[in-house]
Each structure stands twice: as structure tokens, then as C-alpha cells.
Amino acid sequence: MKLLRKSSPDPNQLALQLDFFSPDPITHASVDYPAPALLPSAGVQQGLPNAAVDAQLPPQSGKRRIHIGNHFLDYTLMRSKRRSIGFLIGDDGLRLTAPRWVTIAEIESAIREKQRWIFTKLNERRERSARRLQPQMQWRDGAAMPYLGDDIILRISNAQAIGIAFDDNGRELHVSLPQEAGEQQLKDRVQGWLQAEAKRLFAERLPLYAEKLGVRYHSFALSSATTQWGSCTADGKIRLNWRLVHFALPLIDYVIAHELAHLREMNHSPRFWATVQSIFPEFETAKKALREQAPETLPIF
């Protein structure tokens, strides 16, 4: 999942946003091209030498194909008045927006220059789509549920008394419910346990990173937000999404370090990221891993 931020955040609060339960963001980049003094006349532009372009495709705007190494890369070309070539990776693949005066040869040259970025982003998008096709968790005995980065097994038994207990050795969560209990009662019981675990874990990890950073936070609370992993106010009130308990500890620690760093820098400047790195050196790896999490694979309560 990609981490996003509001373009105009509340000056008194900064929140670590996520594209949780939302469509994939479009990945984009651009290459600047100066406008020529005189625009070339309209017509079919010639491609690069040795570039295998589908002759049946339109020479200007529309679907095109280029041969790069052992791959054929399809892309959509759109002409505009902009002054740079824009690269966008969306649900329909690669889309380029280019000035009218930039030749096809220059466009394909730009594609070759950025081929590593393009193929990386296309692969990331395919992997996210594949994860979304994974089956949802079934609320039944023997079902697997993500907890701290690993799966634990749900064990359901009938009993007069309601109870829940975690067997760390067997990696099993035992839930006792009355025979007439429905699925929602099971979900509520498991969610309550996960939230209690999240609160316990956050209470342990926050002081550790606050001490490393030499800051003091006023309070913390659980969040159930669908668009934020965490938030921090200028007066030291921190909120952390309880669903982080599904993820491995380094990802949880990254979000905690991120929010505490805002007590030093209430912005996302280079100084802020340097502050995060000072207490969590591997933040880039954790940030990428958190971005790549597929929300559709998490349990739905």
C-alpha cells in the first residue's frame, strides 16, 4: 500500500495516511522538454532505429508498442500543451502525455531512459493485483488470521461461558462461544482481543522510541481510521491504527517512530526524515513493505 499525505494538512496535526480500502494510486513521473522555437509540421514521426513499433497503431495519440530488450511494452500516448513528458502507471498500464512538438523518437528515447522505473512500477502493480485475488479469511474453525506478521489459527469451541485465549506455542487463538452465537459475535470477540493486543504492544513500544528520540508524548489512543496509520498533534497526542497489529513488528515500529518524530518536526522536510532515520535506520524498507500490504487480504470485521 502506498503511504500518502494530505496536500494541506492541519497545521496542528500530521497523519500518516494510507490507501487502505481505496483504489490504487496512479504512479507518475515526468521528463522535461524545452519547447522549440518553431513547431514541426504534423505527420507521422519516425521511431528510433531498431525500435519495433506496431505499424498498425496510430503514429501520434493512441495505443503504441515499443520493443525493449526481450519485452514488448504497450503504452498509450496522449498529446497535450504541457512542457514535459508525463509517465503514469494506472490500471490500464503505462500512459504517456507529451507535448505536441516532441517526436516519437524522443518519446521512445525517454521510455528507454526510464525503463527500469517503468518495469518496476508495472511489476509492483501486478503483484498488488495478484494479492487482491487471494481469498478472504473465512470465519470458521481452523481459519488463518494475520497477527504480528505471521498467521495464527482460529480455534472455535462451544461453551456456556464466553472466553478467548492465545496459545503462543501452538500459534492458536482459542475462542469459546455459546452454540447459538453467530459470525458477528465471533468477529466482535476476535476484534476486541486484537485491539487489546494492539494497545498493549503500542504501550510497550512508544516509550522505547520516545526515549531514543528524547521526546515526551502527552497520550496515545487506538484509531479505527480507514485512511490513516497514525497521527500526531502538536501537543503530543498520538493515535495509532489498531490494524497495525496484523503486521510484523518492524512495520509497527516504523509508524511509531514516524509519529514520534513529528514531536521534533511537524512537517515532512528532509530534517523530519533524518529524525526518523536517527531512531529507525531501516525506515525505508519498512515504509516500502507497509505500502505494499494488500488491505484486501486482512480480515473484515
pLDDT in 10s for each residue of the chain, 301 residues: 333 333 344 545 565 654 333 334 445 565 554 444 333 333 333 333 333 333 333 445 689 999 998 889 999 999 988 888 999 988 788 999 999 889 999 999 999 999 999 998 888 788 776 666 566 788 999 999 999 999 999 999 988 778 999 999 999 999 999 988 899 999 999 999 999 999 999 999 999 999 999 999 999 999 998 778 999 999 999 999 999 999 999 999 999 999 999 999 999 999 999 999 999 999 999 998 888 776 666 888 8
* Residue 28 belongs to some domain of the structure: no
Q: What is the CATH number of the domain that holds 243?
A: 3.30.2010.10
Position 126 scores a pLDDT of 80
Where is the domain boundary, 132, 151, 173? 132
CA distances (Å), origin 160, targets 24, 176, 190: 45, 8, 17
Same domain, 201 and 108: no
- What's the domain range around 279? 13-18+183-297
Using CB atoms within 10 A of its CB, is residue 287 exposed (0-12), middle (13-18) or buried (19+)? Answer: buried
For cell 495516511, the residue is 17
CA 269, chain centre distance (Å): 20
* Residue 258 belongs to some domain of the structure: yes
Position 7 scores a pLDDT of 37
Task: State how many domains the chain has.
Answer: 2
Phi-psi region of 85 (alpha: psi -120 to 50; beta: other; left: phi over 0): beta
